[in-house]
Every structure is written in structure tokens, then in C-alpha cells.
Structure 1
Amino acid sequence: MHQLTTVETVHEEGSVLFTATDPYGDLEEIVVVPCEDGVEAWVNVCTHEQQRFDTGRGVPMREGQLICPRHGSLFDACSGDCDNGEAAGTTLPGVDIAERHGTVFLIDDDYDFHHEGGIDDDDGPSSTSHLQL
């Protein structure tokens, strides 16, 4: 079990992105999004053409639905179901999380927490300077 964030942070920021190791040892991005009953976690890809929802600016959402930035399919934030667009009839792969006293934990046995942010977020330079001499 790994502490991820707080329910309050997810609701204030609109989503939280983290990277985990999947059952095959590969890195997988996961988004935690607000839901009417708290928060839910989904693998960060649309079921149609593997488009990422959060591309570094948060998950685009409208009225409790995740919006695929490529084709506009809408996925219910609470159930992961899509009933329109190119991804109609599909459901996002879910990731098990738990909320205790406002804190969100990764509890899915298939995923091991790797780091906050996206897959590429920890591969950058160690300083803010990009100058090379």
C-alpha cells in the first residue's frame, strides 16, 4: 500500500498523475480523478488508439467525464464506461485505490508505485538549466 495524494488535492487540481510498474514489469501511467463518491483511478489511456488523457496538463474533464483529447470520447469518471464516439462500448482499465480519512492509497496488487507524474517526468535534467558547454 502506497500513499498517493489526498481526495481534496484531486478535487482541487482536477486529477493526479502517477507512474507504476504493471504486472509485466512495464511502466504504466495512472490517473486519479474526482468522482461523486470520492476519487477513482484509471490507466491513463483511451481504449481507442491508446491516446493518453493526461499529456502533462491534467486530465481534460467535463461534467464528471474524462475526455479523450484525440477523438472526444467521454468516459464516466466513476465507472470508466464510454457510451459515445470511437470508444463507445468500452471501459477504462481500473486501478484499485482506497481512501482513508481523506488520503488516497494505491492498494492494487498488480501495480507497484514508481513515481509521481508521467513516465517521462523523472528522465529530465537534474537542474532547471538546459545549457550545455
Structure 2
Amino acid sequence: MRELTTVETVHEEGSWLFTVRDQYGEQDEVILVPCDDGAEAWINRCTHEAQRFDTGRGVPMRDGQIICPKHGSMFDSCSGYCDNGEAADTTLPAVDITVRDDGRIVLDDDEFTFVGEGGIDDNEDGGDDGPASTSHIGF
């Protein structure tokens, strides 16, 4: 288990981005987002076209929903489920975390190893700047 951050930080900042490595050595990004009094962790990609939610500026959210910046699909931050837009009837891939009694969040997923805070671009060279928006939702 690897300590990540605190629930307080996730709620104050609106999200928290970190990079992991899977069992095959591939890197991926994970977002921590506020959920009720705690937090949930999801792979940082929309299920529709694998667009990144957090491109280094935080996760776009409104009323407890994660918003895909490209097409505007909205995912419940607690369940990861989307009931609208291009990604309707899909659920974000979850990453196992544990929220301790003191509010500290730890990575508790045997499939991933913590690489570092921030996105892949922050931890290694390369990457992209994220999608150009075609969403009808303004931020």
C-alpha cells in the first residue's frame, strides 16, 4: 500500500492526479475525485474515446459528476457510471483505494504500482495536451 494524499486535499482541490504502472510495465493515469465524505479513484480516461479528464488542470466536475471535456458525457464521481452522451451506459474503470480513519488515502490495488504525483508527462517525457473540446458544456 502506498499513501497518496488526503480526503481534505481532494475535496479542496477538486481532484488529485497520479501516475501508476501496471503489471505489464505500462503507465496509466488515475484521478482521485471527491465522493460524499470520501474519495474514489478512476482511470483518467473517458470510456467513449479514451479522452483524458484531467489534462493537468484538474478534473472538470459539476454537481458530483465528472465531465468529459471532449463530448460532455458525465460520470457519477461515486459510482463511475455514465447515463448520458456518447459514453452512456458505461462505467469508468476503478482503482482500489482505502480511505483511512484519519482521512489519508492509500493505493490499495495489487494491479498497480505508484509512479508519482501528477500525470505521465510530469513523470516521464512525451504525451499530449489533451483533446480539443467539441462539448456543448462550458466550464
- Does TM, normalized by the shorter one, top 0.5? yes
- Provide, for residues 34-76 of structure 1, a one-character-per-residue CA deviation record: whole Å limited to 9, x for no partner: 0014100000000011000000100000000000000000000
TM-superposed deviation, 1:23: 2.6
Distance of 2:124 and 2:94 partners within structure 1: 26
Equivalent position of 1:77 in the other structure: 77
Distance of 1:123 and 1:98 partners within structure 2: 27
Q: Secondary structure at the match of 1:28?
A: strand
Equivalent position of 1:62 in the other structure: 62
TM-score normalised to structure 1 length: 0.91
Structure 1: gaps (5+ residues): 125-133
Distance of 2:59 and 2:85 partners within structure 1: 18
TM-superposed deviation, 1:119: 0.2
Matches within 5 A, 1:83-94: 83-94=83-94
Number of corresponding residues:
124
Distance of 1:13 and 1:47 partners within structure 2: 24
- Provide, for residues 80-131 of structure 1, a one-character-per-residue CA deviation record: whole Å limited to 9, x for no partner: 000000000000000000011110000000010001000011336xxxxxxx
Task: Give the AA of the match of 1:39.
Answer: A
Equivalent position of 1:129 in the other structure: none
Equivalent position of 2:30 in the other structure: 30
Aligned identity (percent) is 68
Task: Give the AA of the match of 1:63.
Answer: D
Larger Rg belongs to: 1
Distance of 2:53 and 2:21 partners within structure 1: 19
Equivalent position of 1:41 in the other structure: 41
Instruction: Report if the CA contact (8 A) 2:19-2:115 is conserved.
Output: yes
Structure 2: gaps (5+ residues): 126-139
Equivalent position of 2:12 in the other structure: 12
Across the aligned residues of Structure 1 and Structure 2, the Cα RMSD in angstroms comes to 0.9
Q: Secondary structure at the match of 2:91?
A: coil
TM-score normalised to structure 2 length: 0.87
